[in-house]
Every structure is written in structure tokens, then in C-alpha cells.
Amino acid sequence: MADGAYMLLPSGQSWRVARIAAGQCELHDVPDAGEGDVFGRLLQVLEELGHKGQSVCLALSSSYVFCARLNIASLPRKNRSAAMLYRLEEQLPLEAERLTADFLPMASGFALGFAVETAGLKEIVDKLLQNGIRVGAICPASLLAAFYVQSARGAEACNYILISDEGRLELCRIDHRTLSNWYCLDSSPEKLSQSLAADMLSNQLPGDHPTVLVVGGLSPDAESRLKEDLDAKVIKLEKAARPAELAAQGAAQVLAGKLSCVDFNRGALLPAGKWGPLAGHLKWARSLAIVLLVALSVSLGLRAWLYQGLTARHVGLQQGQYRRVFPTGPIPQDLNARMKSELARVSGISGGSEMPTQPNAINTLGRVIAAMPDGMKFKINEIRVSPQEIILEGQVLNHGDAGILAQAINRAGFFAEAPKTQQLPRNEVAFTLVARLSKESKTGGTP
């Protein structure tokens, strides 16, 4: 993992590179040796400092940045950012379309608007990116220092933060621990004292005497003027640090997401991203994926709704069919089970496949009588027809006639055993004939 955070500070024709690692800051100057060569050398210096491609913070001199106080109480909530930009435009010499802006909300319906001209910065950001330096934040250097100092000092309150760097003076007014104005001042002690007095006149301070926190060096003359003219309490940082170093510390925290500062890394100044030229396509792909997912979700919801409609229609038709069979009574949950039960009952009554065959004894009797031979005298005294057998008892003229009867019955499809015969006193022969029913005779009955 890459170690440290990096800040680039353009300053006139030269650049400064800051590396912040383990709380320590190193500043390196990169002079502009030739046309268009500075970005290559910036990369070279960064690599020498151990840069591994991580995002850097581009710290802007206050000469790049416009600042104005805006009344935003009456602005609509919808498209508020655009409305704030156009309200900021009213106070600036450039059109809104040429600006990249950020805003700091304040109490009582006011905001502090900050803007930079997009075109010049865009060119720098693009050239940095072309040289492999990805910009993660674009912040005013003075505000980085001021925000860092305020963050590091915790709850200790002050009314002003005065930043003095290389002969320039910048004044940040703090109300309720929030930045409420930002000036660039004349460096002469008189002007400083007058500017502070004018600000105090226009804004009521919570205490009797202003508290001024000084970042960077302040001349003894200027300090004494503040104390004498305004009865100000002047606080100096314990550790003397240059504003650029404090700005670098602030940049490290901004890049780490631990500190919130005015940041112009938005809109047209956003780098193309780590996917480089593909970023635009990826954005389109993401938008397309969102649209497709919405369409897919709608389509799935619609299909589910259609299926629900189909289910309701089928259930309705099924209930209609049920009512045809059972016109009254409640409709059960499982219609088909009830109807299957009814079908089984009706099928069983009408003769389903499981209906047993009933042997019809009258058919058997008819076949036996029809099989009796013509022209032969005999008398039947008893006929018994059961599902298993037929028993005939009677009388014939001789023993042989009983056998003829048995043969006749056999020809009709029965299995007649040899008849038992017995000679009777009156020249007659009694016989008992037992015949079993053939398989066809058993099953061929009437169901």
C-alpha cells in the first residue's frame, strides 16, 4: 500500500510538492525549466518521494479563488446548487457556465460561495492526469491551513484566523466554529488593523475583544497595532509552522476523508477516473445498467401481475365448473379433490373398472335347458345352479341315457362328471349329474 499523502501547490511559474507521512511534512520546490515540461518533472519528483499513483490534493493560491457571501434563504430547495451558483454569479465578473463552485452553509440563511474559473484549472488537472497524477481534491491552500488548524485546536474558540505567508495576509472570520468570511488583505499593519475594525463593525462579536489566531509569521508592528487599536487577543501557534505545511497536513486529512474543506474537485474538474478514457463509457454503462434494471424490475413486476391475473381467472373458471357439479354448499379449498371423490363415486355406481363380475344363474340355467337333447325321455326333479356348479337330479329310462345327458351338457361348455345312476323298481334309472362351470361361464355373467 502506498505510504503518505501528497499535495501540489502551483505558485506562479513554479510548483511546490508536499509529502505528508507519519505527521511529518516535506516541501520540495519544482521550478518550471521549460514549456510544457513541468508536469513530467512533477511526476518525477513525486516518484522520488515514493508516490505510488495515489490521488493528490491540488492546493490553490487564493488568487485563483473567488469568494462571496450569499443570502440563500429565499432560494428554492429544488436545484438549490444551481440557484446558489447563479446567485454567486451576480457577485462575480464571470458567467456561471465558466465557473466551478462550492458552498459552505452558514447560520441564518446565508452561505459562503467559492468559485474558480474552470477552463484554466481543467487544463492543469488534465495535464496532471496525462502524466499519471490523479487529482483527488482541489482546495484553497489557505483554507486547508485554516481548517486544519481549527480542527487540530479542538474546542478552543477564536474569532479570526490570520494567515500570513510570504508577505500576503489572509483573514478568515469564524462564527460558531464555522468559516463565515474570507479576505485577502493589504499587508501593511495599518490596513490590517482597519480591515479588522471594519469587519468587527459589520458583525457583532460574541465577546468584547476579538481573538485572533495567527498562522505564519506576523510582524511585531502589526501585532502591536492589533493589540493597541482593537484590544485584540493574539494567539500564536505553539509550534511555528509555515502555512504551506499546515495546508499540506489539512490536504492529507481531506484526502483521507477526515477533514471537510472547500473542494472544487467536481463537475468539469473531476478527473476521468482510474479507468481513464473508459470512465465516460463506464458512466454510460452504469446509467444503462440502472435503466435496464428498472426496466427489468418493472417487467418482472408486470409479469408477476399478469400471472396473478391468470391464476385468479383459472381459479374462477374452476369454481364455475365446481358449481355446475355442486350447485349449493361452500366451495372447498381443494376443489379437484372433492370432484375426484365425486367422480370415483359416480364411476363406481356406473360400473368402473374395479366392478366385480356377477355370475348370472338364470343365463346358466337357460344354457343347461337349451343343451338338453331332443327326442329322449327324461324327467328333472331338481336343478341347482350356483356360481361354482350345476347339479341336476332326475330320471331316465336307462343308465346310458344319463351319459348322453352329460355329453350334451359338456357340449354346451360345462365340465360334467360321469353321472351317478341308480336303477329304480319301476324300470327307471335315477341319476345325479354334477357339472362345473367353465371359466367363460363363470365370468360371462351379467354385471
Partner 1 sequence: MKPRRGVIPGALLVALLAAAAWLYTYMASCRQEAIQARQNLDECYQIVADLARYAKQPALAADQEEQTSRTGQLIDAAARQAGIQKVAVISPEPAQRVNDGPYKEKPISIRLGDNVTLVQASSMLSMLATGDRPLVPKSIRMTTSRDDTSSANWAMEAVVTYLVYDPLKPAQPGRQ
**Binders in 186-245 for partner 1, by CB under 8 A:** none
Contact call for residue 285 and partner 1 (CB under 8 A): no
Site string for partner 1, 380-419 (x = CB under 8 A): xxxxxxxx-------x------------------------
Classify 300 as helix, strand or coil: helix
Among 290, 331, 397, 418, binds partner 1 (CB under 8 A): 290
Least distance to partner 1, CB of residue 128, Å = 18
Least distance to partner 1, CB of residue 278, Å = 15
Least distance to partner 1, CB of residue 315, Å = 6
Contact call for residue 156 and partner 1 (CB under 8 A): no
Least distance to partner 1, CB of residue 55, Å = 12
β strands within 37-158, DSSP E: 56-60, 65-71, 99-105, 110-117, 135-140
Least distance to partner 1, CB of residue 195, Å = 27
Contact call for residue 288 and partner 1 (CB under 8 A): no
Among 119, 304, 376, 418, binds partner 1 (CB under 8 A): 304
- For the record, the C-alpha cell of 158 comes out as 477564536
Among 289, 331, 397, 418, binds partner 1 (CB under 8 A): 289
Q: Which residues from 101-120 bind partner 1, rule CB under 8 A?
A: 102-105
Instruction: Indicate if the alpha-carbon torsion angle 159, 208, 201, 193 is positive or negative.
Output: negative
Least distance to partner 1, CB of residue 100, Å = 11
Distance CA 89, CA 68 (A): 9
Distance CA 209, CA 275 (A): 54
Based on CB atoms, which residue is closest to partner 1, 86 or 307? 307
For the CA atoms of 368, 373, 377, 380, what is the dihedral angle to 10 degrees?
Answer: 0
- Window contacting partner 1 (CB under 8 A); options: 97-105, 166-174, 213-221, 436-444: 97-105
Q: What separation in angstroms does the CA of 415 have from each of 266, 390, 441?
A: 111, 10, 11
- For the record, the C-alpha cell of 367 comes out as 344354457
Q: Which residues from 63-92 bind partner 1, rule CB under 8 A?
A: none
Based on CB atoms, which residue is closest to partner 1, 65 or 244? 65
- Position 337: which residue type? A
Site string for partner 1, 306-345 (x = CB under 8 A): -xx-xx--xx-xx--xx-xx---------xx--xx-xxxx
Based on CB atoms, which residue is closest to partner 1, 198 or 296? 296
For partner 1 (CB under 8 A), the number of binding residues is 72
Classify 105 as helix, strand or coil: strand
Least distance to partner 1, CB of residue 358, Å = 5
Among 296, 331, 376, 418, binds partner 1 (CB under 8 A): 296
Among 50, 53, 120, 366, binds partner 1 (CB under 8 A): 366
Contact call for residue 177 and partner 1 (CB under 8 A): no
Distance CA 418, CA 402 (A): 9
Site string for partner 1, 252-281 (x = CB under 8 A): -----x--x-xx-xx---x-----------
CB crowding 21-43: b at 16 or more within 10 Å, else e: eeeebeeeebeeeeeeebbebbb
Distance CA 351, CA 349 (A): 6
Q: Identify the burial level of 253 via C-beta atoms within 10 angstroms of its C-beta, where 0-12 means exposed, 13-18 middle and 19 or more buried.
A: buried
Based on CB atoms, which residue is closest to partner 1, 289 or 397? 289
Distance CA 137, CA 114 (A): 15
Q: Which residues from 415-444 bind partner 1, rule CB under 8 A?
A: none
- Window contacting partner 1 (CB under 8 A); options: 17-25, 100-108, 160-168, 183-191: 100-108
Q: What separation in angstroms does the CA of 5 have from each of 23, 77, 165?
A: 10, 37, 22
Q: What separation in angstroms does the CA of 218 have from each of 166, 168, 249, 286?
A: 11, 10, 21, 52
Q: What separation in angstroms does the CA of 58 have from each of 138, 169, 205?
A: 5, 21, 34
Least distance to partner 1, CB of residue 189, Å = 34
